[in-house]
Amino acid sequence: MESLFRETQALKDEFNNLKEQVRERARRLDLLRYQIDEINAASLNPGEKETLEEERNIAANLNKLKELTETSYSSLYSSEGACIEMLSSAISDLKDMRAIDNSMEDALNALESARPLIEETSI
């Protein structure tokens, strides 16, 4: 009789464990259905994931981008010996050289055409 009781108790325990597994699977299926619905509702377009990742990367590195932008701007425009200052000096020197030697015209034109490109980067 006692062995029958233990066997019955073991079967009840196994039955309860199986019921819990069924409930857990049902919860998991509900979660997966919800996630699928959310993904479908997002209506992502091809390439949108990459765009969002790029935007996230930019947002995560805003301080570094700001620092690099300020350094670049300073190098180009505002520091002593800035690129635009040195370019202006070279253009002035080439104008003086061209007054003596017309073969400097091409070099002068090249530097003069570079100046607006450099100036536009500050906008």
Total domains in the fold of the chain: 2
What pTM did the predictor assign? 0.47
Name the residue range of residue 88's domain.
Answer: 67-120
- Residues 31 and 39: their CA atoms lie apart, in Å, by 12
Contacts of 59 (CB under 8 A, 6+ apart): none
Identify whether 55 is part of a domain. Answer: no
Q: What is the pLDDT of residue 123?
A: 53
Q: What is the pLDDT of residue 93?
A: 93
Identify whether 106 is part of a domain. Answer: yes
- Do 104 and 98 contact (CB within 8 A), yes or no? yes
Q: What is the pLDDT of residue 119?
A: 81
Identify whether 19 is part of a domain. Answer: yes
Identify whether 50 is part of a domain. Answer: no
Q: Which residues of the chain have pLDDT under 50?
A: none
Q: What is the pLDDT of residue 122?
A: 62
73 and 115 share a domain?
yes
